[in-house]
Amino acid sequence: MRVEIFTKSGQLPELIEGSVLHSALMFSSFEKAKDCKPYMFVAYDADNRELGHILVIKRRKFRLIPPILNIRYTINGEGVYRSDCNNREELFAIFLEKVFDMFDFMHTFIEVQNIEDSRFAYGILRENGFVPMRDQRMYISLHSRAPQERLTRAYRAHIRKAENNGVTYRRATTCKEIEEGIQLLHNYYISKTRRLPNKERLNMLLHNSDGTLSEKAKMFIVTYKEKIIGSSFCLYDKERANLAYSCGLRKSFPMQYPGIMAIWAALSDAYNQGFAHFEFLEARALSRIHLKFINTLLNYGGKQKGTLRWFHFRWRWLNKILRAIYV
């Protein structure tokens, strides 16, 4: 078995279909971002068939107070593997070894997050000095009940009132709609402690290489009197829709409930498209100060599930201290 590392989208081979977080589309979007650099690790067997791949994202950020350059590497999930692969954890361990070979002395920390099963590679990550910190997932199962049935009574009333007031929602399909929707997200998140979406990356994800609209990512807009008052951004896997960002002008249009309608637009579309699950990616890695936002998501019928985020810092003494605290 061999592992090849790709840093240019033009060099990428045809990859196994799987999580959008490890797709060529996601790779290309990070490649266009100014502060990011993607690395695609691809494993092959002796017959030159792909066994699996994993996307690693490098991010650089300079802080003035204190003056320090943070370099972190993020792995979103366990990667993508061939359907008949029975040694996924072993392959993940090999990928992790390659990551350390390349970046061991060139990082502030390495982070592994969004692992579906918290038991996956638990021992491997511990052996490599990673520190587990508790995280959470929030999702809705769409295959058993319709989303309308899961809404709280108050949210059903809010949605009905917004629609009666003339609020509409749809997928953004024109360049103008997409641009306005992205700008609305940018204006909203710039004042939040949550990560600000990169406008170039979002636009890249929404389109295929030939300029047509992608089905791997969609933007939804909420309109009132021909004005866009809310928007949401969703990523799609085979059976799951992942809500990445959402916002609404709730202070300017309180009786139109634009924030609620932005999430409802993505949720109802996922149900109509036949997706089995709908996950709120924003709910992950949120601290106690965001309990109000988490409680808001519970009004859609979301379920919480505990998971782990793993961190490995360059300084061994810091890893030991954190292990003593969190393990």
CATH class of 2-128: alpha beta
Residue with more model confidence, 204 or 177: 177
Where does the pLDDT of residue 34 fall: very low under 50, low under 70, confident under 90, or very high at 90 and above? confident
Most confident stretch, 13-22, 98-107, 253-262, 296-305: 253-262
Contacts of 290 (CB under 8 A, 6+ apart): 194
Instruction: Please determine, for residue 86, whether its predicted confidence score (pLDDT) is greater than 70.
Output: yes
d(CA 310, CA 74) in angstroms, rounded, equals: 10
Instruction: Please determine, for residue 66, whether its predicted confidence score (pLDDT) is greater than 70.
Output: no
pLDDT at 131: 92
For 134, other C-beta atoms within 10 Å of its C-beta total 10
- Summarize pLDDT for 217-258 with one digit per residue, the tens: 999 999 999 999 999 999 998 889 999 999 999 999 999 999
Burial 86-123 (b: 16+ CB within 10 A, else e): eebeebbbbbbebbeebbeeebbbbbbbbbeebebbbe
Q: Domain extents for the chain? A: 2-128, 139-306
- Summarize pLDDT for 117-126 with one digit per residue, the tens: 878 999 999 9
The architecture of the domain spanning 139-306 is 3-Layer(aba) Sandwich (3.40)
d(CA 115, CA 120) in angstroms, rounded, equals: 7
Average pLDDT estimate for 100-104? 84
pTM equals 0.86
d(CA 87, CA 121) in angstroms, rounded, equals: 11
- Summarize pLDDT for 52-63 with one digit per residue, the tens: 999 999 988 777
Common-topology check for domains 2-128 and 139-306: yes
What is the number of residues in the chain?
A: 327
Where does the pLDDT of residue 134 fall: very low under 50, low under 70, confident under 90, or very high at 90 and above? confident
Residue with more model confidence, 182 or 316: 182
d(CA 234, CA 243) in angstroms, rounded, equals: 4
Burial 19-39 (b: 16+ CB within 10 A, else e): bbbbbbbbbbbbbebeebebb
